[in-house]
Structure 1
Amino acid sequence: MPADASNEIHRSPFDPLLEAAAALGPMPTAVVHPCDALSLRGALESARSGLIRPVLVGPRAKILRAAEEASLDLGDCLVEDVPHSHAAAARAVALVRAGTVAALLKGALHTDELMAEVVDRERGLRTERRISHVFALDVPSYPKLLFLTDGAINIAPTLEDKRDIVQNAIDLAHAAGVALPLVAILSATETVNPRIGSTVDAAALCKMRDRGQIVGAVLEGPLAFDNAVSIAAAAIKDIRSPVAGHADILVVPDLMTGNMLAKQMVYLAGAVSAGIVLGARVPIALTSRSDTARSRAVSCALARLSVSDAGRAAR
């Protein structure tokens, strides 16, 4: 554990998110191809927690078989019977467009298969905002909830893409109760180096914040990872910023960096992760097929909070 980490007993920052989301009441949610025990259990536990009102979209026989094999009671869950996973993704998106559901929850299918339907230019759920993914991480050695973006959707984002990626994460942090998020734009160094494009993008994003193109947060970058999360490391390098050592949001240069960093936190630092896609018409709770039911429930909680926060902003 880092020298500047708290020695207090760790309390999960996910707990208040789950409580706040449950207090808002369940949200109608299409669960896309929940044909294995993990995805089905996650949906049912989220329903029991008062987060979602699930509509199970997939082959009915497979869903019923998965429920029977895992001794799960589907109760009064609606089932939209479709022949396969691709059809499930298409039908779930159609349910959003029809106003039947207000969110999507990924089940036992590949992310690419679901997102292909979401981003379809004619039948999908695009908005003027770039679609991006945010990991929410409960890291035992870090004193608060940590967001990381984008490690799942945008492979090599442009500066314009990164503007939306940052704003999506800021909006989610607001929905999660962080009034003024501290955003660290990551690279390999804390100085601008024209040969490292991500340092130039980081500096540009900070200036975009100064000019009102990004709102609702404090931005700092470029920052190396240690300077973003360690007070001691930032002090050694004499980095004077409210973000250094205290980041709420980590913005990575590309998908590979973000994906590896998130998984390193999970598998080497004992973190628990949840995931959500923003920038579409509705939030999409997007987790790994191996994630636990709790991870799926927290993802649903984030989706519920983001919908409520969007509604308050519209009013």
Structure 2
Amino acid sequence: MIENRVFDELQVGDTASVSRTLAQEDIELFALVSGDVNPAHMDADYAATDLFQRVIAHGMWGGGLISAVLGTELPGPGAIYLSQSLRFTRPVCLGDTITASATVIEKRAHHNVLLDCRCVNQNGEEVISGQAEVKAPTEKVRRPRITLPEVRLRDHDGYRKLMEMTSNGAPEPTAVAHPCSRAALLAAIEAAEANLIAPILVGPEGKIRKAAEDAGKDISTYRVVSADHSHDAAAKAVALVRSGEARLLMKGSLHTDELMAAVVPSATGLRTERRISHAYVMDVPEHPTPLIITDAAINIMPSLDEKADIIRNAIDLAHVIGIGEPKVAILSAVETVNPTISSTLDAAALCKMADRGQISGGLLDGPLAFDNAINEAAAKEKGIVSPVAGHAEILVVPNLEAGNMLAKQLTFLGGADAAGIVLGARVPIILTSRADSLRTRLASCAVAVLMTRAATKAAPGLAAVQA
């Protein structure tokens, strides 16, 4: 229970205290709540400095502990803060346990109370001292103490490494097909401002300039190639790639199937001997590595041969983003071969193809259910002994519906980001959505840039895809 002490109950000398240990999470939570990202607070380079210790521990944290004593213990609920003065006498370090106490030293008119405030560390050393004046409650309050919700901070910056990997090098010439909406144009310009791409804007010129006006962006430095409509824009953007004027292709504000219709023709498109496929590079909070989900956007019900190419494309992608020997889980509803579930038969065949060298560059296992593909405990519970089970980095779904639902569940329920890219064509194709965050849009471009630079350097496994 939480119970206050009304003015008439208070006596000079009454005291109360709370104790808490300063953790890194306390600092990060304060930064989230306050917006205070002063490097002296957040940068590890400051961690050993007196500035870091004093500003963090004294300014926001120690004062907060004193406030907790006054608001929950003495006088407790109903107390109104009037003033406070604090003197910081000793630094507080991460890991220190601080006890904050308040002692009544004077009762004043109008139910005002003056309290001596003090914080000491685990060694009994005083770190904060001062006084606070509050208006004490006059009505008794006694009720169940509120249970605070569990708050978990999630490290959600998995795309930082991708951006760092692209930091050296010139921006890649990129044909942007039909960037005729504010969101589509912004995606291209933001990638240009991040030094990832040099956009060539292909579409109806009037619509492009209107989109730039809506976005508040100056496009005078960018090349604009006029096109009559979205189909014409897709065709001309592909032609720029075929001619070598562009090294990447980026989707603007046209439907994906319109763009792909210009990509797939053998005579005029960007086809190779590989099946074209789509992959999401997922940044999932609290998951230690990126998750590549494929195919969630292009191949509706892929055949066994098409799945083999989908896996080869995903393995090439994994190599480019720094995964040397990716663990490939071929997903189904169950982890055993069942003749009535075709995806389990495909999984078994694909694994045998890998055993015979028909698919190389990664470790394959399947069929695996989603839980035992990514969760080691779930795999052990099922008795699955495999270097892939519980540690998968590539998730190969049985069909487009399953991939699309899995990616969107992770995005909208799990807080993940999904950077999309099309593989298997002559050049990587960047797919972004209006709902994508800036981080996701830049990550999609970064992945494409890494792919095309790797192809230029003739990295193993990529020449066949992008030759």
TM-score range normalised by the length of the shorter chain: over 0.9
What percentage of aligned pairs have identical amino acids? Answer: 59
> Which residue number corresponds to residue 177 of structure 2?
32
Who is 1:13 aligned against? 158
Aligned to 1:236: 381
TM score, norm. by length of structure 2:
0.65
| Contact 1:127–1:279 (Cα < 8 Å) also in 2 | yes
Establish whether residue 270 from structure 1 lines up as the match of residue 420 from structure 2.
Answer: no
User: Is contact 1:184–1:251 with CA below 8 Å preserved after alignment?
Assistant: yes
Partner of 1:84: 229
Deviations 1:274-295 (A, max 9, x none): 1000111111011234323332
Q: Does 1:249 align with 2:371?
A: no
Name the residue aligned to 1:186. Answer: 331
Distance across 1 between alignment mates of 2:210 and 2:316:
39
Select the residue among 302, 307, 311 that pairs with 2:452. Answer: 307
The unaligned stretches of length 5 or more in structure 2 are 1-151, 461-467
Q: 1:125 to 1:197 in 2, by over 3 A?
A: same
Q: Distance in 1 between matches of 2:369 and 2:197?
A: 38
Aligned to 2:207: 62
Per the normalisation by structure 1, the TM-score is 0.95
Q: Return the alpha-carbon distance in structure 2 between the equivalents of residues 83 and 296 of structure 1.
A: 26
**Secondary structure of 1:295's aligned partner:** helix
Contact conserved, 1:230 with 1:245, CA < 8 A, in 2? Answer: yes
1:165 aligns with 2:304: no
| Letter paired with 1:93 | V
CA shift, 1:22, in A, is: 2.9
Partner in structure 1 of residue 133 of structure 2: none
**8 Å CA contact 1:169, 1:249 repeated in 2:** yes
Alpha-carbon shift at residue 301 of structure 1 (Å): 0.6
CA distance in 2, matches of 1:124, 1:283: 13
In structure 2, the CA distance between the partners of 1:241 and 1:279, relative to structure 1 (3 Å rule), is: same
CA–CA distance in 2 between the matches of 1:262 and 1:126?
A: 26
Distance 2:153 2:364 in 1: 29
Conserved? CA contact 1:119–1:126, under 8 Å = yes
TM-fit CA distance, 1:73: 2.0
Whether the 8 Å contact between 1:42 and 1:292 is mirrored in structure 2 is: no
For the Cα contact (< 8 Å) 2:182–2:212, is it kept in 1? yes
Paired residue type of 1:13: G
Asked if the contact 2:159–2:283 (Cα under 8 Å) also holds between the matched residues in 1, the reply is yes
Report what 2:56 is aligned to: none
- Deviation of 1:141 after TM superposition, in Å, equals 3.2
In the aligned structure 2, how far is the partner of 1:286 from the partner of 1:304? 13
Larger relative helix fraction: 1
For the residues of structure 2 that align with 1:187 and 1:60, how far apart are their CA atoms?
A: 47
Q: Which letter maps to 2:416?
A: A
Q: Which has the higher contact order (CA 8 A, sep 6+)?
A: 1
CA contact (8 A) 1:184 1:221 kept: yes
Contact 2:295 2:397 in 1 (8 A): yes
Q: After superposition, give the CA deviation of every residue in 1:65-115 in whole Å (9 maximum; x if it has no partner).
A: 111112112241111111111110000000011110001111101000000
> What is the SS of the residue equivalent to 1:112?
helix
Once the two structures are superposed, residues 186-243 of structure 1 have per-residue CA deviations (whole angstroms, 9 ceiling, x without a partner) of 0000000111000010011111111111111011100000011111111111111111
Per the alignment, residue 4 of structure 1 pairs with none
Deviates more, 1:44-53 or 1:286-295: 286-295
Matched, 1:219 2:378: no
| Cα deviation code 1:105-163 (max 9, x no counterpart) | 11101000000000012211110000000001111131211100001000110000000
- Tell me how far apart the structure 1 counterparts of residues 418 and 196 of structure 2 sit (CA, whole Å): 18
Query: Highest CA radius of gyration, 1 or 2?
Result: 2
Q: Following the alignment from structure 1 to structure 2, what is the Cα–Cα distance between the partners of residues 293 and 12? A: 12
1:115 maps to a residue whose letter is M
Q: Structure 1 or 2: larger strand share?
A: 2
What pairs up with 1:269-308 in 2 under 5 angstroms? 269-308=414-453
Matches of 2:177 and 2:398 in 1, distance apart?
30
Deviates more, 1:69-78 or 1:222-231: 69-78
- Residue-by-residue CA offset, 1:251-286 (whole Å, 9 max, x unaligned): 000001001111111111111111000111111011
Mark the CA change 1:133 to 1:274 in structure 2 (over 3 Å): closer, same or farther.
same
Counterpart in the other structure of 1:132: 277
Backbone CA RMSD of aligned residues: 1.4
Amino acid at match of 2:406: L
C-alpha contact (below 8 Å) 2:159/2:439 kept by paired residues = no
One-letter amino acid matched to 1:216: G
Separation of aligned partners in 2, 1:261 and 1:75: 41
* Matching residue of 2:124: none
Q: Residue 201 of structure 1 corresponds to which residue in structure 2?
A: 346
1:73 to 215, 218, 228: 218
- Using the alignment, how far apart are the partners of 1:180 and 1:71 within structure 2? 44
Q: Structure 1 213/284 Cα, relative in aligned 2: closer, same or farther at 3 Å?
A: same
Q: CA deviation at 1:24?
A: 2.9
TM-superposed CA distance for 1:11, in Å, is: 4.5
- Partner Cα separation in structure 1 for residue 279 and residue 360 of structure 2: 18
1:146 and 2:287 aligned: no
Distance in structure 2 (CA, Å) of the matches to 1:295 and 1:107: 15
- How many angstroms apart in 2 are the aligned matches of 1:282 and 1:274? 17
